[in-house]
A and B are shown apart, each in its own frame.
Chain A
Amino acid sequence: MTSYQFIWFLLIGVLFSGFFFLEGFDFGIGMAVRFFAKNRDERDTVIQTIGPHWDGNEVWLITAGGAMFASFPMWYASLFSGYYIVLFLILVALIFRGVSFEFRANMRTDTWRNFWEWASTLGSFFAAFLFGMMFTSMIQGVPIDKNGDIFGSFTTYVNWFSIVGGVAVSLLCFIHGLNFLRLKTSGELRARAEKWSKILYPVLLAGEVVFVILLYLTTDFFARKPMSTWAILIALVIFTLAAWWGAQSSHDWASFIASGLSLISVVVLIFNGLFPRVMIATNNANSILIKNASSSPYTLHLMTILTFTILPIVLVYFIWSYWVFYKRIKSPKQVA
């Protein structure tokens, strides 16, 4: 493994971390539209919190996908073709939630407003759920042949662990979204988001325990890397507890950062467990390794230079745009 290959493995992890941190609360907000907000005014406010941001957040996914294609074509090809139906359903979910914000605002009847609100909520839920399911099924090891193609059966994709993984990720995103609402709204909406967080954190903790047990039973993470795996899992639990404490004591920022970091710990857990592989095969000889899956040194060199030139500039205006919309959004009643 060359240092460029190692850097790019890390970079893909960083891009997916960015995606889950940012799109995580986007998904949560989307779910909150129908699961949490009680009436149309509240839903307006809830959607307004991510209005200027959701599109930019989704670009993290597109960048992660593109970067994976550029740096590890063999990984991209195997994963994306092997998870064909799962990714297709993710795309459908992303399409519905993506257009829902724009379309909903211009519907004339309640039936259609409800329709697009549900599109947002279910689209966000299933996108988060299916991403969770995809990654948790992937780390259990999948049937890969010599060409790198995955010929899985139904249970390769849908099994107890992948369902728990899907539920855990969508719940984590939902709470992350509630924490974002606590930051961006005020009054009753903020108070209720806090109340819901307080109730949901014990559920999440229970889910994390089940997740760890199944992780132990179905993956080789503990056997191959006991120390780092435990360390990351402990960090995950600490972040969850910290976010819960933030909900108890009205520390909105602490909760939001902590729930974001717990999503990132899940990504770190997966990438740490994969290393030095990118895809785990049930027949270990066919596992796809970082050293075999990457592009040529020339392309990796080029991409490194370009990324380290462009990404800092992007981060400056990306963060600045959040700064512009930093203020809490007043609910309509407060405006009146």
Chain B
Amino acid sequence: MLNVGLSMLGLSRFQFAMTTVFHFFFVPFSIGLAFIVAIMETCYVVTKDDTYKNMTKFWGKIFLYSFAVGVVTGIIQEFQFGMNWSDYSRFMGDIFGAPLAIEALAAFFMESTFIGLWMFTWDRFNKVVHCLFIWLTAFGSTLSALWILAANSFMQNPVGYAMNAAQHKVEMTSFSAVIMNRQLWNEFPHVIFGAFLTAAFVVAGCSAWRLLKKDHENFYRKSMKLTLIVGLIACLGSVWSGDTQTRYLINNQPMKFAAMEGLWKNSTQKGNWSVIQGTKNHKTTWSIEVPYALNILGHHSLKGTFKGQQQVNKELKAKYNKNGQTRNYYVPTRTLFYSFRIMAVSAGLFALVAIVGLWFNRKKSQSIMRQRWFLYLMGLMVWLPFIVNTCGWFVTEFGRYPWVVYGLLTIADAVSPTSTVASLLFTNIVYFLIFASLGAVMIILSHRVLKQGPDSVLTDGYSSKPQESDKKVDPYEMGAAHND
């Protein structure tokens, strides 16, 4: 069903998935970290405590790496609609292009300009103004998420348009309808809370690793406390917005909802919710079920029923298949079912760890330093948000198969007619190698920054001057510098 064989369509889809997933490792991390760094700098401005200044500079450094990789992989996103999906661009340009252009104009200029100012003007502006720069960067990056999600929301739930059948394209009739799309206002908070959660648990987890080595206790405990508070709020926000969004799907994209819950047949009044299950030939073969849970989750009530995938498929066939078409509307059920469960279980884990962590990390208590198992757990959880974010997009995007624009255009009709398997194979391989290397360098550099610790004199800007802690490592470089 995933159809990622060596066909033109399969390779195009795989490439889009790969570039987007990789890009989206960095986007939520950068958005969230921008806010966390902004909060840290605000604490510094208010309390004048130098620990906060060091925290700002230190975590800011990791933010800058992530931002750089996010920017360069972002250009791919904008270009590939035209490059790989030219028929999609022709069909959707009237609606999709506008938010994309506004994103660049209103958001990218803001974040790129103010991050440049923020990086290079420590000590040149007064503290409040300098702090404003990082807030504007964070604000700009949030705006960019809003605009691109406006475009994505139209693809999930088209509103405010008219079909131009003669030219085979959609035309915008109401910009406000596109912006007020309910899908957008379900999706946007979920993505933003997810971004906060991602950055919060990465910072908290990195702090945990350093605390395991008994390194800079005060500094890392403070970082951990601040980010766990952010993380806990973000986690609750994610659950709330995830719930609204999922329940919105029941009527809006019933196939997606039924697949997320693994419902093949219509559910009964008993509302059995399957924890895990096996499926074969569009049927559930076995499952572990909890009675009433489905109704509580989906309807916030004990009563009610849900349509199963078989029923939804019948309805969609009646609605969309014309002239004896036999197309089915099933989505990759297992992917959706388990992605959804990974999200849900992780949310519980995040909340639990945040609460326990805040308890262990009380002022005047040393327990966080003694609970090494807990620090290990937190350290390992650094990776979890990235997996969870990816699962979220799997549910959203696989769940609308076979459509690229729901009900209007299929994925197969969207691809560039000029693509060839040879060129796609080449670009897939090169992208993969580049992403693997960029990811590796990111991890190595972040690890290095962590090891150098908050004491390393954090130089502003792009100087290649070895930092204090590097002196022993690279004597040649020092010698060379003197000879020049």
- Across the interface, do A303 and B98 meet the contact criterion of CB distance under 8 Å? yes
Is the contact region of chain B dominated by helix, strand, or loop, or is it mixed? helix
B361 contacts the other chain (Cβ, under 8 Å)? no
- Across the interface, do A79 and B72 meet the contact criterion of CB distance under 8 Å? no
- Chain A residues with CB under 8 A of B100: 66, 69-70
Chain A window 41-77, contacts with chain B (Cβ cutoff 8 Å), 1 for yes, 0 for no: 1011001100111011011011101111111111011
Among all A-B residue pairs, the 4 with the closest Cβ atoms: A73-B93, A80-B82, A70-B97, A52-B116
- Across the interface, do A307 and B105 meet the contact criterion of CB distance under 8 Å? yes
- Chain B residues with CB under 8 A of A314: 105-106, 109-110
- Chain A residues with CB under 8 A of B181: none
A317 contacts the other chain (Cβ, under 8 Å)? yes
Chain B window 446-484, contacts with chain A (Cβ cutoff 8 Å), 1 for yes, 0 for no: 001100000000000111111000100110110011001
* Contact partner, B89, options A77, A87, A318, Cβ 8 Å: A77
B86 contacts the other chain (Cβ, under 8 Å)? yes
A108 contacts the other chain (Cβ, under 8 Å)? yes
Q: A63-B108, A69-B97, A299-B172 are in contact. List 10 more A-B contacts (CB 8 A).
A: A56-B112, A66-B101, A69-B100, A73-B93, A77-B86, A84-B416, A84-B418, A95-B75, A99-B72, A113-B464
- Chain B residues with CB under 8 A of A155: none
**Contact of A101 with B462 at beta-carbon distance under 8 Å, contacts A70-B98, A77-B86, A318-B109 already known:** yes
- Chain B residues with CB under 8 A of A92: 430, 434
- Across the interface, do A81 and B82 meet the contact criterion of CB distance under 8 Å? yes
- Chain A residues with CB under 8 A of B172: 296, 298-299, 302
CA distance A41 to B257 in the complex (A): 59
CA distance A113 to B464 in the complex (A): 8
Q: Which residues of B contact A (CB under 8 A)?
A: 64-65, 68-69, 71-76, 78-79, 81-84, 86-87, 89-90, 92-98, 100-106, 108-110, 112-117, 119-121, 124, 164, 169, 171-173, 175, 416-419, 423, 426-427, 430, 434, 438, 441, 445, 448-449, 461-466, 470, 473-474, 476-477, 480-481, 484
Chain A window 106-144, contacts with chain B (Cβ cutoff 8 Å), 1 for yes, 0 for no: 111110010000000000000000000000000000000
For A318, give the chain B residue with the smallest CB separation.
Answer: B113
CA distance A151 to B75 in the complex (A): 24
- Across the interface, do A58 and B94 meet the contact criterion of CB distance under 8 Å? no
* Contact partner, A63, options B82, B109, B426, Cβ 8 Å: B109
CA distance A141 to B171 in the complex (A): 30
For A42, give the chain B residue with the smallest CB separation.
Answer: B484
Is the contact region of chain A dominated by helix, strand, or loop, or is it mixed? helix
Interface size class of A (residues with CB under 8 A): 35 or more
User: A171: shortest Cβ distance to chain B, in Å?
Assistant: 24
CA distance A61 to B101 in the complex (A): 11
